[in-house]
Amino acid sequence: METTQHSFDNAPIGIFDSGLGGFTVAREIVAALPHESIVYAGDTARCPYGPRDQREVDAFVQQICSWLVARGVKLIVIACNTATAAGLAHAQRTMPVPVIGVVEPGARAATMTTLTRRVGVVATQGTIDSGAYERAINNIDAGIEVFSAPTQRFVEIAEQGLRGQDERFATYEELVARGFDSADYRALAEGYLAPFREKRVDTLVLGCTHFPLLAGLIGQAMGPGVQLISSATETARDVAEILRRRRAFAAPDHRPSYQFFTSGADCEEFARLGTLVLNVEADRIETVDFGELHLEELRAAKEAVVEKKVVIATNNAHKVSEITTALDFEGWHYSTLRDAGLVSNPVEDADNFEGNARIKARAAHELSGGLAALADDSGLVVDALGGDPGVFSSRYAGEDGNDAANNEKLLRELGDLPFDERTARFVCTLVFIDEDGSETVARGTIEGKIGFEEKGSGGFGYDPLFYPDFYEGRLTLAEVPQEDKNAISHRGNALRQLKELLGEK
């Protein structure tokens, strides 16, 4: 994963679970970010969380997150689906560091994987009762059918295999491959998973972090045509992206440390299991009591963090990267709607770019409870077409159109008009709404002309038809190197103007 940046933060990443299952998430984070230190907390004394009341689990989340904050972590991963469903939103509001869960990453991976749009979810009773996965999947694609069922005994089996009650294995890979290959386990899995086969799902979400241990058993029962989704890999990607945006990766020469804490009595056994899954040696192992809120440490950490939280009203990764790079104000923390667990689809019915950007920014500002919000709206304006396609740029050929159809219509409308008369510009308008509701508006353009055929493969939308004046008609925007495009683009120009305006406030 990309780790290029200007500053570093060697503070550890905090990861917690109700017990051992979260080690599967920690394993992916360690593999993806080998320079990062880890503080892992397993609440084994109160495991399992699945059958417990959601309010009780939410209280546990507050306790353990505050305990992790007191140990100086820079980010917290709730590596437990039940705890994510019960307490993620609460923790994000109360903790002074970013907190992410494992439900949304798993849901996102499932929506990108399914071809039949029939997705199954196996999880604990608490996660199923919360409806968290169904909401998360349908928030991304409302047309996906989600079938859910609790499989509580899978947790028991995973714990038994991991603890080596039947046989001990030397490696994690060996455990997953052979640790659950028994007639009794196969019969149990067949019974649990038969309804999903009957529903003909093509994707099955392992909605408990214990369940990747059973991937071989579950995969055998479901058959080769079903893709198994673990949220661990997607969660590791989210961790990397948040650290990149915050410029908080550990230094490349940092020697990572791994600390394992458990509320159970046998910390040596806990550490052995952590070492088996993560394939790293623990620098510290300890039994602790998570059962209280660390309010003074929380308060001190909040006071020490001077930052503005800004919600960007988009989930487009390219836009997010461009915005966070350009608006690199000290102490500003950016999140997307998805990071914040928000879904915003306001009707963009204004007749200009500024109006639509304002609609999106205001919706994000309100949904986030009054955080600063930033939104953009952009498109192509062609003089010979009276300003069209304008605000309809993305749907110029109709609601079901695409880039190819839009470009085809644009060329058809311009016909044989001479090149010098095909003047046009890309326009981007940014609307920034601060916590107090005040608005700052910035606008950027890039002037050019529309060609007669598509050229280049480095862009999208109308880029292959647009010849920026900067290159005197020699290159389309799709032929311009990416680093040069950012320097001259309409969004880049708008961001530079916005940065100057905000810097004056």
Q: Which residues of 101-118 are buried (b: 16+ CB within 10 A; e: fewer)?
A: bbbbbbbbbbbeebeeeb
- Those residues with Cβ within 8 angstroms of residue 147's Cβ, 6 or more apart along the chain or in another chain: 118, 119, 120, 121, 195, 196, 199, 201
- Among residues 47, 65, 80, 267, which one is catalytic? 80
Neighbours of 234 (CB within 10 A): 21
d(CA 468, CA 479): 11
Sheet containing 99-100: which strands, arranged edge to edge?
Answer: 99-100, 75-78, 13-17, 38-42, 258-262, 284-287
Contact 294, 69 (CB under 8 A): yes
- Among residues 65, 208, 267, 428, which one is catalytic? 208
Where are the strands (E) in 79-163, listed by range?
A: 99-100, 118-123, 145-150
β partners of residue 443: 429
Is 208 among the residues known to form the active site? yes
Is 65 among the residues known to form the active site? no
Pairing relationship of beta strands 439-450 and 203-206 according to DSSP bridges: unpaired
CB-based contacts of 278-282 (< 8 A; 24+ apart in sequence)? 278/23, 278/26, 278/27, 278/30, 278/38, 279/27, 279/30, 279/171, 279/172, 280/30, 282/258
Neighbours of 3 (CB within 10 A): 16
Half-sphere exposure of 298 (CA within 13 A, CB side): 15
Supply the DSSP string of 156-204, one letter for each residue: HHHHHHHHTSS---SSHHHHHHHTT-SHHHHHHHHHHHHHHHHTT-SEE
d(CA 56, CA 152): 19
Sign of CA pseudo-dihedral 410, 415, 419, 420? negative
* Catalytic positions: 80, 208
